[in-house]
Chains A and B, each alone.
Chain A
């Protein structure tokens, strides 16, 4: 079963992170990525660019319109995401808990819908 993990962080904390903290976070993700690759659970993961690069597109009367933001005053911004394929929901939560424990980020875990039809009734 595949799960997506969406990690959110406080933009101020991100802004004010020391180089050592950034390095530690990179090391953590490298180790975790390696572990998930070795366990055969990694599907994809990536960190995201600075929130200042974000554009949001919304449908308006005139059609889709792009605006800047979400803005820096947002309490939490999406900072990275990953998809894992693992045996159980509990396992996905355990992986997310490690991220939370180390980074202090908030992590949302949700199952990814698949195209399979399920069994007959």
Chain B
């Protein structure tokens, strides 16, 4: 087996995973059992194909192997199943009569979208949505997901199995959500992809290295959804936001893993191709579809990414975008960023006045980022002692080690300047 065959097999399997699962669920129902069977078939293929070569019809091979496992499993459980009240989870007859799995690719794509809706169902907790999406749609093994989230494999397996039980118990059907629910459900899907991206993006070093693959996976899934729904502005916005943010990855952490603020990053290390792709996407989305929260965040990221130097940043434009964003969302984190933009355009006092408006927000109580931003604006205002105290409070409050080091360094730097 050559390295390239290995990579090719893995990519191919990940690509096929949701399509094979969709085909199985259409044929047999039982999402939970089908998902287990597909995972087993993927593992079998990952062992066999690199040695024996990729079969002529990889998808057919996977469906055959997974179907065999599934029918065996279902047969052995039949007696038990008969005793169970399965009324709520029975697949409607017309789905048994759905076309055989080896039909057009369009059905496959729809299946993948339906799977995403299912895995990101609001009945599940965010942790379960993420785990199930990565396994059922992303085709990752439980072991890989557990490693990325730094929990034992048994714990992750349990999260996935609970999520599937929950879906089964809720009787959620394997079909597109009704039209009137679709916008909300799509929003839930995008939010899960956003969370997966952030899990990977904030990872910095050591054990975290495997986590960075999560951002790549989130981008891959967002690309997929964008291909299926090219006219949806928020989908395009999310994909653009991910690309424009991920473009800065090479410059955003120092060799010690400490985060480097945007203003201090070496911009020559940003990924130009990702910036070009993200900028084109968001420009097109804004022109064709108007605004939305992900589109606005992408537009802000694009403005940052377009500036060759931090001093050249078009802050008035960023401020205007944050003002719009704040009207669309009720999120105090947006206000924090808005306050920074306000300070850059109208001076630190204007930014500080805006920060005062989130003090009373319960969601920000004890939050280190409020202290960190206030410290930053006070530093801009020349109130160094107050800034140092806030950086230190923020350093104590964060649970991120690299961030803690960064905040302590800022406090120390100011303290030295003060002498």
Contact = CB atoms under 8 A, between A and B. Distances in A.
Interface of A: 1-2, 37-44, 85, 87, 111-121
Nearest to A41: B155
Contacts of A121: 261-262, 337, 340, 369, 372-373, 376
Nearest to B372: A121
Contacts of A44: 152
What interface size band does chain B fall in? 35 or more
A87 B159 CA distance: 12
A115 B208 contact: yes
A11 to B, nearest CB: 31
B357 interface: no
B100 to A, nearest CB: 36
Contacts of A87: 125-127
Contacts, number: 92
21 contacts: A2-B150, A37-B154, A37-B155, A40-B159, A42-B155, A43-B151, A85-B149, A87-B127, A112-B399, A113-B399, A113-B400, A115-B204, A115-B207, A115-B257, A115-B401, A117-B400, A118-B400, A118-B402, A118-B403, A121-B372, A121-B376
B402 to A, nearest CB: 5
A42 B399 contact: no
Interface in B233-278: 248, 252-253, 257-259, 261-262
A111 B404 CA distance: 14
B86 interface: no
Contacts of B149: 85
Contacts of A117: 202-204, 252-253, 257-259, 400, 402-403
B402 A116 contact: yes
A114 B401 contact: yes
Given A42-B152, A85-B155, A121-B340, A113 B203 contact: no
A113 B154 contact: no
Q: Top 7 A-B pairs ranked by shortest CB distance?
A: A40-B159, A116-B202, A117-B259, A118-B403, A40-B158, A115-B208, A111-B399
B72 to A, nearest CB: 26
Contacts of B69: none
Nearest to B207: A115
A39 B156 CA distance: 10
Contact of A120 (B156, B262, B404): B262
A38 B155 CA distance: 8
A37 B262 contact: no
